[in-house]
Amino acid sequence: MINTRKLLLVYTGGTIGMKQDPDSLALKPFNFDQIESEVPELRKFGYHIDTISFDPLIDSSDVEPAFWVKLAKVLEENYYTYDGFVILHGTDTMSYTASALSFMLEGLAKPVILTGSQLPIGVLRTDGKENLISSVEIAAAVKEDGTPYAPEVCIYFENQLFRGNRTTKYNAENFRAFRSANYPPLAEAGIHIKYNKSLIRYPAIDTELKVHTRLDTNVAAIRIFPGIMHQVMDSVIETPGLRALILETFGSGNAPTKSWFLNTVDKALKKGIIVLNVTQCLAGSVDMDAYATGLELKRMGVISGHDSTYEAALAKLFYLLGKYTNNEIVKSLLSKNLRGEVTL
């Protein structure tokens, strides 16, 4: 039986798409139209794989919301032509992009797998080939009823498939570059790819894709640290047009109890600025009922980010602020699990 699965491979930039120039020995992007000549193993799947390369290619450190909009539109324009999508992306901001797409692609019913590598695909010890090959296999994989195994925005890296909006890049050198500390892997690749189906979000039957491209970036973030100056806090909340502030707090959502700090937070809230409490810890959750400092923030009207990553909290705010001008609606939805980004 001929396998007729159709996949779209989108190369946006990043380390994975580099190979060594034989003359200069410098690393240069290769032509992704010839991806099967660089990774001939892909032919063995028998899938129909088309490619799109961004022009110009994007260093992931230069990623901005306009890039997410462009990427979402590519997926929207090709959504009904292909069975799954693999996005090759630089690792530095991959978790931000995956988080943003998870909110922008409402009603997603097909796999969107982001992957990349720590070493270029043209280097002998590259991790890029395995990441790409397994991502392609996962993007095409279907259950017995013909529906995809993983119809989510995911990151595949070093034998593990994660929900994209649960990930954080935590290692700049190791091949296992990403973690999902507060949610288990959706699949693990060994001799076989084992899917944890009970952890995967499956859409309702006949769900229609709705793409949201209006993002409001009037958001700031302050990472609390011992010795933080009130002038820093004051300058941030006086930013013209600011609609939301992410407070990266200690432990389970704790912050200084100094009067100037609490007064500044209260001032921000009275200015109509939404304040979202996200822990600095890589694992665990905000619990503003646990300690007096958290209770005071909760009393003032600070919203708990629960066990959200910073990347997901930022993307969620961009999405909700872009969709709603009414801050009360935004506050209400911040406290809900919209795309599997928090555990409630």
pLDDT in tens, 231-270: 999 999 999 999 999 999 999 999 999 999 999 999 999 9
The mean per-residue pLDDT over the stretch 53-76 comes to 95
pLDDT of residue 60: 92
pLDDT of residue 35: 73
89-104 tens-digit pLDDT: 999 999 999 999 999 9
pLDDT of residue 128: 85
Candidate list 15, 91, 93, 309, residue with the active-site label:
15
pLDDT of residue 38: 76
Between 103 and 16, the more confident residue is 103
Gap between the Cα atoms of 44 and 284, Å rounded:
42
CB 114 within 8 A of CB 9: no
How many domains in the chain? 2
Gap between the Cα atoms of 149 and 111, Å rounded:
8
Identify the domain boundary among 167, 186, 211: 211
Between 19 and 181, the more confident residue is 181
190-219 tens-digit pLDDT: 999 999 999 999 998 888 999 999 999 999
Q: Are residues 86 and 226 in the same domain?
A: no
Q: Are residues 241 and 196 in the same domain?
A: no
H or E segment at 223?
A: strand 219-223
Residue 15's SS3 state is helix
Identify the domain boundary among 211, 232, 250: 211
Which of 36-45, 123-132, 217-226, 302-311 is predicted with the least confidence, judged by mean pLDDT? Answer: 36-45
Task: Check whether 337 has a pLDDT greater than 60.
Answer: yes
Band of pLDDT at residue 25, cut at 50, 70 and 90:
low
Task: Check whether 75 has a pLDDT greater than 60.
Answer: yes
Task: Check whether 71 has a pLDDT greater than 90.
Answer: yes
Residue 238, in any domain of the structure:
yes
Which of 36-50, 64-78, 290-304, 307-321 is predicted with the least confidence, judged by mean pLDDT? Answer: 36-50
Q: Are residues 73 and 140 in the same domain?
A: yes
Q: Are residues 226 and 81 in the same domain?
A: no
Residue 340, in any domain of the structure:
no
State which amino acid sits at residue 121: I
Q: Give the number of other Cβ atoms within 10 Å of residue 142's Cβ.
A: 13
Report the DSSP beta bridge partners of residue 237.
Answer: none
Residue 344, in any domain of the structure:
no
Domain CATH for 88: 3.40.50.1170
Q: Are residues 52 and 88 in the same domain?
A: yes
Q: Are residues 223 and 260 in the same domain?
A: yes
pLDDT of residue 26: 67
The mean per-residue pLDDT over the stretch 30-59 comes to 85
Tracing tokens 């084992």 back to the chain, one arrives at 194
- Residue 87 tokens read as 């996005």
Nearest residue to 243 (alpha-carbon basis) of 137, 138, 157, 320? 320
Band of pLDDT at residue 1, cut at 50, 70 and 90:
very low
Residue 1, in any domain of the structure:
no
Task: Check whether 333 has a pLDDT greater than 70.
Answer: yes
Q: Are residues 79 and 195 in the same domain?
A: yes
- The CA-based diameter of the chain, rounded to the nearest angstrom, is 71
Q: Are residues 103 and 170 in the same domain?
A: yes
Task: Check whether 122 has a pLDDT greater than 90.
Answer: no
Q: Is 15 a catalytic residue?
A: yes
Q: Are residues 132 and 206 in the same domain?
A: yes
Residue 341, in any domain of the structure:
no
Q: Are residues 40 and 182 in the same domain?
A: yes
Residue 36, in any domain of the structure:
yes
- Domain extent at residue 162: 6-211
Q: Are residues 194 and 238 in the same domain?
A: no
Band of pLDDT at residue 121, cut at 50, 70 and 90:
confident
Identify the domain boundary among 165, 195, 211: 211
Residue 298, in any domain of the structure:
yes
pLDDT of residue 34: 67
The mean per-residue pLDDT over the stretch 2-12 comes to 87
Residue 292, in any domain of the structure:
yes
Region at 119 (left for phi over 0; alpha for psi -120 to 50; beta for the rest)? beta
Q: What is the DSSP string of 101-161?
A: HHHHEET--S-EEEE--SS-TTSTT-SHHHHHHHHHHHHH-B-TTS-BS--SEEEEETTEE
Q: Are residues 22 and 158 in the same domain?
A: yes
